[in-house]
Amino acid sequence: MEPADWTNEPDLEAIRAILLAAKAADGRPEVAESGPLPREFEGGLHLLEREAASQRAVGYVHLDTEGDSYGRQIAELVVHPEHRRHGVGTALARALDERAAEGYRAWSHGDHPGAAAVAAKLGLERRRELLILHVDVEGADWPEPVLREGVKLRTFVPGQDEQAMIDVNARAFDWHPEQGALTVEDLLDEERQDWFDPAGFFLAENADGEVVGFHWTKVHEPVPGRFGGEPVGEVYVVGVNPATQGGGLGKALTLAGLRYLRGRGLRQVILYVEGDNAPALAVYGKLGFTRFETDVQYGK
């Protein structure tokens, strides 16, 4: 089998079939039976590997050519579960290594040992760890949020609060390779997703009515074999204007979101955090979160 040519006009049906098969086996990615592909597979370049006889797609690579906030091209590589350990991943990874710009990064979700083996063949090293933390809601001690004088919480109003949220996000995540690049257009795209719920999107305002922080929660639909097949809440993004940090606003926003997710009857909550973000890990540890999985970016 040889990979086909890179294209910016992907075979969406073939790609979706691979992603759905991977989701059934691994619990990820979050892809639906219809509609647009997840955002990490949009745009850029696409490469499929097919069986010679049947022309069935057995592997897929997406290369984000625009790159992250640091200009690094980012790749996602998925092999159909029925065709793993047969050289498909290695062939696609070599094709990616030849095509991608210098300094590219490739994700391994769940820190799969097969991905580590392929990375070693290409001379790629672990460059970033994104941790997935998890907490059981039952028994968690999440008190009422305490806000400094003049600060109040309210929920997000679609059509009104997009720019204010993006402004805070840009300041809070100017260091982050993905989150810092979020635009109003990206936010509007998210608002059109079935999971979006403004009731779980909290904004903090100061005495002047200025948005100075936010906590955006998310609820994931059940996936067989993952989290016991139950829906799971997520601390999706917590952002605070750096000029207002130091007064416990981040913790207050986090507690507001956690209590909201608990109020929805969810029994589990997850979040993603950079593996080298020691202050955030300390805060989440005190709230009962423990390490669940690790996503790794490989690069040269």
Q: Is 23 annotated as a binding residue?
A: no
Provide the residue range defining the domain that includes 154: 134-299
Instruction: Provide, rounded to the nearest whole percent, the portion of the chain with pLDDT above 70.
Output: 99
Whether residues 74 and 166 fall in one domain: no
Q: Is 237 annotated as a binding residue?
A: no
The more confidently predicted of residues 225 and 33 is 33
Decide which of 123, 147, 167 is a domain's last residue: 123
Q: Total domain count for the chain?
A: 2
The more confidently predicted of residues 127 and 53 is 127
Q: What CA–CA distances, in Å, run from 60 to 30, 93, 107, 189, 206?
A: 16, 10, 13, 24, 47
Q: Is 157 annotated as a binding residue?
A: no
Asked if the structure places residue 1 within a domain, the reply is no
Q: Is 178 annotated as a binding residue?
A: yes
Q: Is 118 annotated as a binding residue?
A: no
pLDDT (tens digit per residue) in 192-201: 988 999 999 9
Overall pTM > 0.85: yes
Q: Is 238 annotated as a binding residue?
A: yes
pLDDT (tens digit per residue) in 67-87: 999 999 999 999 999 999 999
Give the pLDDT band of residue 3 (cuts 50, 70, 90). Answer: low
Q: Is 40 annotated as a binding residue?
A: no
Q: Is 139 annotated as a binding residue?
A: no
**How many residues are given for the chain?**
300
d(CA 183, CA 176): 14
Q: Is 61 annotated as a binding residue?
A: no
Q: Is 275 annotated as a binding residue?
A: no
Decide which of 59, 90, 123 is a domain's last residue: 123
What is the per-residue pLDDT for 225? 82
Residue range 225-240: average pLDDT? 94
Whether residue 299 has pLDDT greater than 90: yes
Q: Is 89 annotated as a binding residue?
A: yes
Give the pLDDT band of residue 247 (cuts 50, 70, 90). Answer: confident
Whether residues 89 and 153 fall in one domain: no
Q: Is 33 annotated as a binding residue?
A: yes
Q: Is 240 annotated as a binding residue?
A: yes
Q: Is 200 annotated as a binding residue?
A: no
Whether residues 117 and 75 fall in one domain: yes
Strands 105-108 vs 74-79: parallel, antiparallel or unpaired: parallel
Instruction: Say if CB 230 and CB 268 are below 8 A apart.
Output: yes
d(CA 93, CA 161): 42
Give the pLDDT band of residue 158 (cuts 50, 70, 90). Answer: very high
Whether residues 106 and 163 fall in one domain: no
Decide which of 98, 123, 148 is a domain's last residue: 123
Q: Is 248 annotated as a binding residue?
A: yes
CATH number of the CATH domain containing 99? 3.40.630.30
